[in-house]
Structure 1
Amino acid sequence: MTDFKKLEDFDFNGKNVLVRVDLNVPVANGMVTDSTRIERLAPTMSYIIEHGGKPILLSHFGRPKGQVNKDMSLAVVVSGIKQAFGQPVEFVDTDWTDVSAAKDQIAKGAAGTIFVMENTRFHPGEEANDLALAKRMASLGDIYLNDAFSSAHRAHASTEALARELPSGAGRAMEAELSALQAGLGNPKTPVVAIVGGAKVSTKLDLLENLLKKVEGLVIGGGMANTFLHAEGVDVGKSLCEKDLAETARRIYDKSADENCAIILPVDGVVAWHFEANAPHRTYGLEAMDKEGMILDAGEKSIERIKGAIDEAKTVIWNGPLGAFELDPFGHATIEVARYVAERTKQGKLVSVAGGGDTVAALAKAGVVNDFTYVSTAGGAFLEWMEGKPLPGVEALKA
């Protein structure tokens, strides 16, 4: 996946460099509470500044719906950026209808300064992918870099149209993400095992259909697994189950055989009678599920079965927890399998790529975020990539 320009392909000296980033970070009491997304921009910022360029950051923040809303101003992240990079930072206030004042401010700025533009979504043209707005944005810079994979699935003015107005390329974070994803599904070491969890099959149909064609093993967990078990004739009691999708589940199962993809379902389940933390629970085999209970996690036999599939794999990609991980102790299967994948990765036996909000939270709970080959913080973009869909923000960078 090298059909886009990288930092080394540009001469930044004396240039204004527009960088699409993701500063949509959590904030409380006027302070950034999690600076992970900011810190991931450091390699790109350092490279531009060291090579004589002025970084000008473009980002959305919240959902102001095309109107100026000072509660969603990016001014709030300036102190967090200063802290992360140790560089002077200037906030550039604009409603994006006229950028002449912004141009003047940037022109007067000292070398080494990072400029943070106001929320791109304060103008309705951003989400409409408006060419006129993209041209106004382009007038501020000489080069465009996209370093926000998490926004690459949206065809917005600052992610798609703008990339076509200037010489464009990928920042370091974008480059790292695309390289990791290429190792996960584009050109992976085989066999590949995908772990797909979460509550509902209906939200991941495209994902399952795409994976059948690309992986040798497909582990299905979480509430999704109940729908497949129901389709196989298992009585899942009061478990979350989309019974109307039983036929769809059977079709996916049949297609998996045609694609030589082994679907791996739970063989036992941890059952509780109340959906709450520390609810009384016990493990049942599939043939003896309690009709009054609900399956909230995979059982020990299922965990061992999943570990067996991982032992055979050279690559694991993961999206979605294997149970109600947010409720103790029903995150046990997710944590056990996450730690096993991490251990195999550290031993050099596995390439492991994971992504999605719940998945990252689950890996954090297991204490293994840094032990996977790559963990994507991009939610929607990661899922659409796993579904095999082209991402507008990436397509626009292709030379």
Structure 2
Amino acid sequence: MKISISDIDIKPRTKVLVRVDFNLPLELGPAELKKYQHRLIESIPTIELLVQKKCIVILCSHAGRPKGKLEESLRLKPIGDLLSELLNQEVTSLSSVVDENIKSTINSAPEGSIFLLENLRFEPGEEANDVEFAKNLSALADIFVMDAFAVCHRAHASTVEITNHLNSYMGLLLEKEIHNLSNVMQSPKSPYTALMGGAKVSDKIQVIDNLLPKINNLLIGGGMANTFLKAMGFEIGDSFHEPDSLAYAANLLETTSNSGVNILLPRDAVVSDTFGSSQDQATVNINEVSKTSHIMDIGPETAIEYSTIIKDSKTLLWNGPMGVFEFKEFQVGTQAITEAISNNANLVSVVGGGSTAEAVEELGIASYITHVSTGGGASLDYLSGKLLPGIEALPDKG
């Protein structure tokens, strides 16, 4: 286990550089950002702890993909303003990442101050994991806290090289992520169900392979179910699938049939003649999908079957919506799953980040989930058993 800020004594006026993940969709405008504030809220315990210890808090994050160049639309001030609202405390958004004026401003700040540096990815040295940029960044602070689980799979200057220049520790969010994700991988209670959705099988191959020895049930929905259905010889019409993953899907179906893992695919589906928001839809048995149809959601029989298994489970790992969630009429299958989770008080449930976390937030059931991860790709890599550079760079206890 890595050393956490909860393990150390931090003196007043310590300048603490905190890597957070505030990568919100700035292009939507300030009014829409509140819909995506989950990552900000999850960072608050670390920030508040440091403020209580009378530190000077220097937050740093990226947003978007400016590729080492300043883009006015990707400045972080709207995010700083939203964080200020959530904290009910002033957050000073700075106009650049590293320069002497910023250093002077931070050094003269009163204890308990909170700063947000400008977008890290305006600097070409960030994604290059550049030594000089990391040195300049480290000159702003006395210690470093890694609290951005969502970028732990990236070897960047603010996630890896920075730890060579400052004493470094886990933040409370990163500690929570590791604890909860490790629990479902190392000490899950049975029956253990994995629910996999979203578009691509290829994104989750290593996760599934890592889970197979541990789980009792594997429920597959979303676009990735189409690849499995195609591998079984079912007609999927014009639905998205991955031809390169057909062999894997066929092999997995055979493997699970011999291993005792209960693998389930949709038995019915909601289909439409167009891919998009449409009232032109029908529910059909999975062997009745026409050659021109798009599979848009799991059907009601499948939702009941999956929900029954979830209600009987003690551990659930969920990654990926059950339908094309961006269209409200195809959220029904995902909503049925969330209701099953909320009705099982004995369930330890962990939701992978990305679109699944957004679905949970939008449907208002985050409070019923044991842990909603802030990581998308980082969650998948961790659950696959990969070592994440941003975690490995931190010192171990003892």
TM-score by length of structure 2 reads: 0.90
Shift, 1:77, TM fit: 3.2
In 2: Cα distance, 1:10 partner to 1:336 partner: 46
Shift, 1:192, TM fit: 1.8
Moved more, 291-300 or 161-170: 291-300
Amino acid at match of 1:46: E
Map of 1:1-399 to 2, 5 A cutoff? 2-27=1-26, 33-34=33-34, 35-94=37-96, 96=98, 99-257=99-257, 259-344=259-344, 347=345, 349-399=346-396
Amino acid at match of 1:139: A
The unaligned stretches of length 5 or more in structure 2 are none
In 1: Cα distance, 2:244 partner to 2:58 partner: 50
Flag the 1:221–1:31 CA change in 2: closer, same or farther, 3 A. Answer: closer
Shift, 1:79, TM fit: 2.7
Q: Write the deviation string for residues 33-89 of structure 1: whole angstroms up to 9, x where unpaired.
A: 224333332221221122121111111122221123344333343333332223343
Shift, 1:294, TM fit: 3.1
Task: Tell me if structure 2 keeps the 8 A contact 1:92–1:105.
Answer: no
Moved more, 63-72 or 166-175: 63-72
Amino acid at match of 1:370: S
In 2: Cα distance, 1:357 partner to 1:159 partner: 20
Amino acid at match of 1:38: L
In 2: Cα distance, 1:243 partner to 1:38 partner: 38
Task: Tell me if structure 2 keeps the 8 A contact 1:31–1:76.
Answer: no
Shift, 1:125, TM fit: 1.2
Task: Tell me if structure 2 keeps the 8 A contact 1:215–1:261.
Answer: yes
Flag the 1:115–1:291 CA change in 2: closer, same or farther, 3 A. Answer: closer
In 2: Cα distance, 1:280 partner to 1:119 partner: 44
% identity of equivalent residues: 36
In 1: Cα distance, 2:154 partner to 2:141 partner: 22
Q: Write the deviation string for residues 64-117 of structure 1: whole angstroms up to 9, x where unpaired.
A: 211233443333433333322233433344453xx4333222111111211222
In 2: Cα distance, 1:364 partner to 1:29 partner: 19
Q: How many residues align?
A: 393
Residue 367 of structure 1 aligns to a residue whose secondary structure is coil
Flag the 1:233–1:14 CA change in 2: closer, same or farther, 3 A. Answer: same
Flag the 1:253–1:398 CA change in 2: closer, same or farther, 3 A. Answer: farther
Shift, 1:277, TM fit: 2.9
In 2: Cα distance, 1:36 partner to 1:325 partner: 18
The unaligned stretches of length 5 or more in structure 1 are none
Residue 82 of structure 1 aligns to a residue whose secondary structure is helix
Shift, 1:9, TM fit: 1.9
Cα RMSD for the two superposed structures: 2.4
Task: Tell me if structure 2 keeps the 8 A contact 1:54–1:111.
Answer: yes
Flag the 1:89–1:337 CA change in 2: closer, same or farther, 3 A. Answer: closer
Task: Tell me if structure 1 keeps the 8 A contact 2:150–2:374.
Answer: yes
Residue 126 of structure 1 aligns to a residue whose secondary structure is helix
